[in-house]
């Protein structure tokens, strides 16, 4: 087996093992939560007989290990169970919500990733001068402020005072693409500000590290201007760490949108999860947690694979 195939197999196997361990943590975490699911469904006036019948119907009297394997095998087959509070199939209910979350994350990435890379290149070009210091100050300030606060400030200024975009990001299938983009403009702006600093700083650091190499000095001696040296020689050789940080932030865009979806009442998986946490709907919480974990681990695995394929030192570790 070639070294690269072995490395790829190891990364995939470790990712699957990690997902299995996280599924155990998610299931155990929902079991040890205080409160009674049957009581929360039937209310405080429920009789002991009704509570006992509902617990038996929901399978809550079965051993925890048996319930875990039943849930895990069902999830592997695409069956995430049934919502306790509504009786709906969770897989069907999540499908549209997950699509909305991916739609929001995709357009946030379309704005944030090129902008972060461009600002990183610009910061390297004007290193230790006022453009570099201004970019660093603005991006670090944006990442230091809680995202919900940024969301409310933008909502007040842009939606309420200026009336440029709606304050509530409601989308549906009957809307055109432009109408959807107009509706999610403010959530995209908040997510961009949140992930921009990390990607920009990592891009800047990776390129500055490559700029110390001897071949960069050779390129400068050939008479290339500073931006050509950075773009044509330094940036391609710094792509591996940049890809890693981009993938990490893409994972955050998908998994970390819960707060943004709640702030802007966006019909995505985050809003769906929060709604059912308050109702103590355990199967929905488990399903959302497992999907978020799978997306995060999957994107990190892709980042590792891209880093391996783009770096000869990783392809041939010996």
CA atoms within 13 A on the CB side of 307: 19
For residues 218 and 103, give the distance between their C-alpha atoms in angstroms, rounded to a whole number: 44
DSSP state for residue 317 in the 8-state scheme: -
Sequential DSSP letters for 60-118 = TTS-HHHHHHHHHHHHHTT---B-TTT--BHHHHHHHHHHHHHHHHHHHHHHHHHHHHH
For residues 11 and 44, which has the higher predicted lDDT (pLDDT)? 11
User: In this structure, is residue 285 part of a structural domain?
Assistant: no
What is the SS3 assignment for 249-292?
A: HHHHHHHCCHHHHHHCCCCCHHHHHHHHHHCCCHHHHHHHHHHH
User: In this structure, is residue 216 part of a structural domain?
Assistant: yes
DSSP state for residue 316 in the 8-state scheme: S
Average pLDDT over all residues of the chain: 76
Note down the domain range covering 164: 90-279
The yes-or-no verdict on residue 315 having pLDDT over 60 is: no
User: In this structure, is residue 292 part of a structural domain?
Assistant: no
pLDDT band at 180 (very low <50, low <70, confident <90, very high): confident
Q: What's 197's domain CATH number?
A: 1.10.3720.10
User: In this structure, is residue 300 part of a structural domain?
Assistant: no
The yes-or-no verdict on residue 235 having pLDDT over 70 is: no
Domain count of the chain? 1
Q: What is the pTM of this model?
A: 0.74
| Nearest to 199, CA basis, from 121, 305, 282, 96 | 121
């Amino acid at each position: 087996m070639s070294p690269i195939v072995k490395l790829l197999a190891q990364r995939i196997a470790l990712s699957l093992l990690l997902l299995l361990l996280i599924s155990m943590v998610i299931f155990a975490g929902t079991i040890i939560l205080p409160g009674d699911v049957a009581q929360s469904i039937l209310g405080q006036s429920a009789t002991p007989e009704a509570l006992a019948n509902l617990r038996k119907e929901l399978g809550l009297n079965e051993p925890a290990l048996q319930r875990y394997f039943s849930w895990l095998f069902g999830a592997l087959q695409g069956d995430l169970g049934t919502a306790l509070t509504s009786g709906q199939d969770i897989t069907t209910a999540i499908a549209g919500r997950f699509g909305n979350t991916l739609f929001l994350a995709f357009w946030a990435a379309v704005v944030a990733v090129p902008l972060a890379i461009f600002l990183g290149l610009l910061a390297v070009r004007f290193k230790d001068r006022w453009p570099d210091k201004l970019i660093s100050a603005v991006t670090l300030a944006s990442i230091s402020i809680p995202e919900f606060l940024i969301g409310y400030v933008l909502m007040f200024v842009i939606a309420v005072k200026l009336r440029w975009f709606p304050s509530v990001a409601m989308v549906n299938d009957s809307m055109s693409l432009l109408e959807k983009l107009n509706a999610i403009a403010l959530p995209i702006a908040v997510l961009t500000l949140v992930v921009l600093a990390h990607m920009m700083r990592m891009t800047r650091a990776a390129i500055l590290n490559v700029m110390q190499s001897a071949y960069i000095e050779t390129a400068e001696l050939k008479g290339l201007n500073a931006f050509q040296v950075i773009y044509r020689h330094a940036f391609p050789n710094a792509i591996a760490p940049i890809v890693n940080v981009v993938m990490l932030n893409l994972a955050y865009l998908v998994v970390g949108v819960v707060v943004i979806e709640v702030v802007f009442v966006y019909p995505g998986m985050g809003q769906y999860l929060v709604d059912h946490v308050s109702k103590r709907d355990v199967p929905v919480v488990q399903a959302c947690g497992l999907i978020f974990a799978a997306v995060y681990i999957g994107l990190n695995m892709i980042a590792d694979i891209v880093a391996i394929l783009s770096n000869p030192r990783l392809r041939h570790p010996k």
